[in-house]
Structure 1
Amino acid sequence: MNLAYRLFARTPAIVIDLLLAALALSDGLLSYWRTSDTDTIYTIVAAAALLLRRRVPYLALALTLPSLFFGASNVAAIIALYTVAALCSSRIGIVVSAVVVFCGNTSFWAESLSFAEAVPDIIYSLMVAAGPTALGLLGRTHTELARRVSELSILRDQERERIGDEVRAAERVQLAREMHDVVSHQVSLISVQAGALQVRSSDASVKDASLTIRRLASRTLEELRQMVLVLRGPSDDGVSLTPQPTVADIDDLVANCGLDVTAQIDLPDELSPALQRTLYRAVQEGLTNVRKHAPGAHTTVTGTVEGKVITLLVRNSAPTLPALDLPSARHGLLGLAERAAIHGGSALANPTPDGGFELVVTIAT
């Protein structure tokens, strides 16, 4: 039954209407031998009226009534009555249509029938009128229920999405609070201590290192403030990480990283903001890893374009000092690989034969 219903639902409406019109026409023409030419015309008009039943149900029913009352076919009227019940919302109109079809099928009001003849005739006429009406109302109820279920499903999905947005917003606020209260506080202390060390120390190298630490801490604080704004703001309010780092900022990043770095960056400035931000973060991540894992190493940073492929290389030699004992979850390289993948590229980190390390990021423009 479900298969038959699905096949019926997928059949074009015009095909169904043509089949019903053919059925109504056949009902009248099968009794052609005992009908007049006028009855045949009534049958043809009634069958043709079924092609209008979806757009003007009442008119279609009215055109079938001559065949019902005076002709030899009642199938067209039954189909038209079903259509009225299924498509029209007026209860009065549906009841009147059913009564008219009932009157057209029964003969007790036009002929002198005995009680034994009238009862079966009335019962038959009631079935002919009530059956299509009930089926039409049932079909309309089914359609309405399906529409309501579809609306409820959409509302449920919207509610689920809204709850998810609220949960994510609460998590962003919590994360912003932790960043502001914990991370920003500690970075501020680093900046203050570096400033104090710069003032108190008489060693030039210590002063330079303190200055570098203070600059890095100040920049980190600024980026943290921007991230807190993004996390606290709604996802659609237009808040963004401003100012966004670009390729032009890589030179300043290298100059203030506090490492022995040789840089040769030859990248165009007309790249998309997202791509420039990815390249900047790649250099930043590479220098951070050198600072953590290869103190004292010489680092080279190169950025070139060949055809439509950008290659960014951050390579360091073997470390000359013990590595710093700093916490690391290796999320930086993972996030960098995800950033590169968004632009159709890749990020690979591998050791070099001389005991160093290299980070290679390739992106297609």
Structure 2
Amino acid sequence: MSTTGARVPGEEAEPGQARAWSGLWWWTRRRSVVLDVSLAAASALESAFEGAEFTAKVGIPTGLGALVGLLVGATLVLRRRWPIAVVLVAIAVTPAQTGLILSLVGFYTLAASEVPRRLTALLAGMCGLGTMLVAFVSIESSVRHSSSRLGLPLVLAISILVAAGLIAPPVLFGLYVRARRRLVESLRDRADGLERELELLAEKAAERAERARAAERARIAREMHDVVAHRVSLMVVHATAWKSVALKDGRKASESAELVGEMGRQALTELRQMLGVLRSEPGPSAAPPAAPPVAGAVAGAMAGVDGGADHEADTGPSLAELAQLVQESRAAGMGVELAVEGEQRPCGRRIEATVYRVVQEALTNVRKHAAGATAQVRLAYREAEVAVLIVNGPAEQAAAAIPGGGHGLTGMRERVTAHGGGFAAGPTPDGGFRVSAMVPTAG
């Protein structure tokens, strides 16, 4: 006999109860055992009484009928494990007018379980037909012996109503409970799915926050590198020149000392600007509403990146300052030529700051690695982009001992590609070095 679809409402074990009681056979909770045993006991007593009464009518010993009825009614204890078997037993004893409780509870359990609805309808139809025939015979016999004048159609209608009244309610109630349970399970599954999606979103948000923090750290590192490397390299060059001319030309030594002081003040000013951005906090009016921890982390990280970008856009260098940058390098003894092509126009402070930093780092690298070499800086304003080319010749003397971290070219490339531009750097055939960058200005 099929055992599929035996699960009925109330069968699922709760976590606390599952830990307290390991279960018995197909029952997972104590109250399920108590309920089924109680129903089976009531069904057994009812079937035993009805079985004895039926056997007395047909001339069979009542004890045998009571024993059979007792066994038939007790099969209700199997309703959760084998609901189809219980219903078949109820259909089998229908002609003996036995097992009312067995039939009602069995059909409810069958309809509420996962048994296909077609099979439930077939068994309900079989039991209903048997019940109708038994009711028809019983009513017709009573009418005949009581000399009542009920017509055959009326007796048939009453028989149909009796059969429907006994079979339809438990089946319909069972189907309702089954549908309700499926709805609850689908809602639970949907809630679990949403919880898993929220966990994935939280993980992705944490990853985005970490990437945002990494991007902000890289941006700060680039700014610090550009400021420190350029200014300090100029200070080293001037200090070296100062040492060589201190005893020969006091006026020139004084000028070198003044330039070193000016470079130091400029470096300190730019460092204070960046540290001020790092230490600044948003005002009360700009404070965002409370957010979950992960969302707050992402918002904070992205706010840091945006804040740094805004700072660079507001206070970063512009292309108009390139002439001063070239003049500083000339003052340090480097031969630098600046050529500007195209009509000069504002390109946006972020873009101008990017191009300025590329030129600044390129000239710093010339001072570090190609002492005495001349450099040419070409700035070109084009229709939808601004391009810059820095080319230097081979070194003509030993470079000053200026340490480097090896991140200059990487920082320049990151700056340019962040705006969707192109960057290239490499040695020239004559032993020099070439740096070129193109940054789009549209969009």
Q: What range is the shorter-chain TM-score in?
A: 0.5 to 0.7
Q: Which residue of 2 aligns with 1:327?
A: 403
Q: Which residue of 2 aligns with 1:265?
A: 340
Match of 1:246 among 288, 300, 318: 318
Q: Which residue of 2 aligns with 1:137?
A: 184
Cα drift, residue 284 of structure 1: 0.2
One-letter identity of the residue aligned with 1:327? P
In structure 2, distance between residues paired with 1:363 and 1:169: 20
One-letter identity of the residue aligned with 1:254? V
Match of 1:293 among 366, 369, 382: 369
- 1:167–1:293 distance in 2 versus 1, CA, 3 Å: closer
Instruction: Tell me if structure 1 keeps the 8 A contact 2:316–2:350.
Output: no
Q: Which residue of 2 aligns with 1:44?
A: none
Q: Which residue of 2 aligns with 1:341?
A: 417
In structure 2, distance between residues paired with 1:216 and 1:263: 21
Cα drift, residue 114 of structure 1: 11
In structure 2, distance between residues paired with 1:215 and 1:347: 32
Unpaired runs of at least 5, structure 1: 1-106
Cα drift, residue 169 of structure 1: 11
* Secondary structure of the corresponding residue to residue 395 of structure 2: coil
* Secondary structure of the corresponding residue to residue 316 of structure 2: coil
Higher alpha-carbon Rg: 2
- 1:139–1:350 distance in 2 versus 1, CA, 3 Å: closer
One-letter identity of the residue aligned with 1:262? E
> What is the 5 A alignment of 1:26-105?
none
Instruction: Tell me if structure 2 keeps the 8 A contact 1:244–1:277.
Output: yes
Match of 2:265 among 190, 194, 218: 218
- Larger relative contact order (Cα-Cα within 8 Å, sequence gap ≥ 6): 2
Instruction: Tell me if structure 2 keeps the 8 A contact 1:215–1:256.
Output: no
* Secondary structure of the corresponding residue to residue 256 of structure 1: helix
In structure 2, distance between residues paired with 1:311 and 1:165: 29
Aligned-residue sequence identity (percent) comes to: 26
* Secondary structure of the corresponding residue to residue 267 of structure 2: helix
> What is the 5 A alignment of 1:341-360?
341-360=417-436
Unpaired runs of at least 5, structure 2: 1-131, 136-156, 282-300
Question: Does 2:202 align with 1:127?
Answer: no
In structure 2, distance between residues paired with 1:113 and 1:281: 95
Q: Which residue of 1 aligns with 2:354?
A: 278
* Secondary structure of the corresponding residue to residue 339 of structure 2: strand
In structure 1, distance between residues paired with 2:256 and 2:191: 75
Instruction: Tell me if structure 2 keeps the 8 A contact 1:247–1:269.
Output: no
- TM-score norm. by structure 2 comes to 0.45
One-letter identity of the residue aligned with 1:225? R
In structure 2, distance between residues paired with 1:171 and 1:310: 27
In structure 2, distance between residues paired with 1:115 and 1:322: 114
RMSD over aligned CA atoms reads 4.4
* Secondary structure of the corresponding residue to residue 321 of structure 1: coil
Cα drift, residue 281 of structure 1: 0.7
In structure 1, distance between residues paired with 2:277 and 2:341: 32
In structure 1, distance between residues paired with 2:216 and 2:378: 41
CA deviations 1:263-313 (Å, max 9, x no partner) are 223462311212111110111011101111112222222212355453312
Cα drift, residue 140 of structure 1: 3.0
Instruction: Tell me if structure 2 keeps the 8 A contact 1:309–1:364.
Output: yes
Count of matched residue positions in the alignment of Structure 1 and Structure 2: 246
In structure 1, distance between residues paired with 2:217 and 2:426: 35
In structure 2, distance between residues paired with 1:128 and 1:308: 71
